[in-house]
Amino acid sequence: MALFWLMVVALLVVAAQAILFGKRSLGKLFYTRRLSASQCHVGEPLEMIEELENRSSLPLPWLRLEAMLPVAFQFAGSADLVISEGTVYQNHQSLFSLGRRVRIVRRHPLLARQRGMYRLDSVSMGVGDLFGLVRVNRPMPLQLDVTIYPPYLPSHHMPDAYSSWQGEMEMRRWINEDPFLITGVREYRSGDPMNQVHWAATARTGELQVYQHGYSADPELLVVLNIELNEQMWSTVTEPAAAEYAISCTATIVDDLLGRGMKAGFAHNAIIPYEDEERAYIAPGYGIEQLYLILQMMAELQLKIRRPFSQLIKGLIPEDEQRMPTDILLVTPYVSEAIEASIEELRNEGMRVEVLLLPSVEQMKQNYSMLMEQFRLKGARPSSIGKSS
């Protein structure tokens, strides 16, 4: 008889703990996640910060967090984090216990390793009782968007002809600045008049800043990227590493031009996530806002060909006869007869066209792989966990 009642009490205890540590546990469990930045370049570090709070007066025997994340992020390993990586997504699982009325802050260092636009939109939380009789899962909806821009290339990875082209561009600029054309701000230099001080920027940076003026003969430069690696390619880019090199090369050129106070725009022949053809063209402009507008477009473009490069060039011929000629820089891995004919049409319209030939496909792949390896070796620090009651 005593054994019977002992079994009854045991069953009641097991049932009670299953109720206490089961579904009710999720009612007072709160989770948030954020990233240290919403935009970055490939190769730059980020930090994913998770906050877990148990507002219940009872501890959680075990808690499992599971999330699917893009492979664009390289995570550091930790004792409580298991990562299963595929070609597109990586599955993250962590299992631990959580005390009563406690808040945990988990910081995961990571490295951006793939250009694009990504959304981190869900996490699944699972809890259960001591004996595993009850398991309850609940998805936690999130909306974290992050944009990863292409990396800039070091000078020794840029095409050999780029340095000489830079010199030619500088030679076409006048020495005197245009006092009516303000392109940004820069640090104060000895001899700068005090009436050129930008007081708002000075207060923001803590260092004396002055207006940066454009030049009277600044060219209106349009950088045009050819995503085709050869003349036979007509749909999907078959060598992604080479194409990423071409994109990074173009990003480096645009950053350099705008950093020198020049006026730059961007166009390309790759697929974009919009049907509007105009979204693949950014008119020349000045400043940091123009740079990030172009970098955003570069992050969006897909490695698929929207139209042949020769057709894209023809579309640049101005319809308005009164439009001023524009300097055009074509960044392309090759020049075919069709491309050469389209270039000649642009020049006949009075437009200055220069061609920057990229290295061979194998050389582009090698250069980009070396750059990615440098980023990978930088890695990320081991994940850290902090607690506060």
- E strands of the chain, at which residues? 29-35, 39-41, 45-54, 60-70, 73-75, 82-85, 89-98, 102-112, 116-128, 135-149, 177-187, 209-215, 220-225, 263-268, 270-271, 281-285, 302-305, 327-332, 352-357, 384-388
Residue 368 is given by DSSP the state H
Distances (CA, A) of 251 to 151, 205, 233, 266: 8, 26, 23, 10
CA separation for the pair 325, 273 (Å, rounded): 30
Residue 355 is given by DSSP the state E
Tell me the whole-structure pTM to 2 decimals: 0.77
Distances (CA, A) of 382 to 93, 108, 231, 268: 16, 8, 46, 39
34 C-beta neighbours (distance < 10 Å), count: 13
CA separation for the pair 39, 97 (Å, rounded): 33
Mark 234-251 as b/e (b = at least 16 C-beta within 10 Å).
eeebebebbbbbbbbbbb
pLDDT at residue 226, rounded to an integer:
95
**Structure token pair of residue 295:** 């970098």
Contact 299, 273 (CB under 8 A): no
Indicate the helix (H) or strand (E) that contains 249. Answer: helix 240-259
- Residues 6 or more apart in contact with residue 56 via CB below 8 angstroms: 24, 25, 27, 28, 29, 100, 101
- C-beta contacts of 215-218 below 8 A and 24+ residues apart: 215/173, 215/174, 215/176, 215/177, 215/178, 215/181, 215/261, 216/174, 216/176, 216/177, 216/178, 216/181, 217/172, 217/173, 217/174, 218/173, 218/181, 218/261, 218/262, 218/263
CA separation for the pair 297, 271 (Å, rounded): 11
pLDDT at residue 380, rounded to an integer:
47
- Average pLDDT along the chain, 389 residues, taken 10 residues at a time: 63 58 67 89 90 81 81 72 68 77 87 90 74 69 89 90 71 52 75 77 82 65 93 86 96 91 91 70 90 95 91 80 70 94 88 91 93 77 42
- C-beta contacts of 337-345 below 8 A and 24+ residues apart: 338/308, 338/310, 339/226, 339/309, 339/310, 339/313, 341/310, 342/310, 342/311, 342/313, 342/314, 343/313, 345/313, 345/314, 345/317
**Structure token pair of residue 134:** 């009850």
Domains of the chain as residue ranges with CATH: 27-149 (2.60.40.1530), 155-173+218-375 (3.40.50), 182-216 (no CATH)
CA separation for the pair 91, 182 (Å, rounded): 49
CA separation for the pair 368, 374 (Å, rounded): 10
Distances (CA, A) of 170 to 183, 215, 257, 266, 351: 17, 11, 10, 19, 18
Contact 218, 192 (CB under 8 A): no
Contact 327, 315 (CB under 8 A): no
**Structure token pair of residue 246:** 């071409």
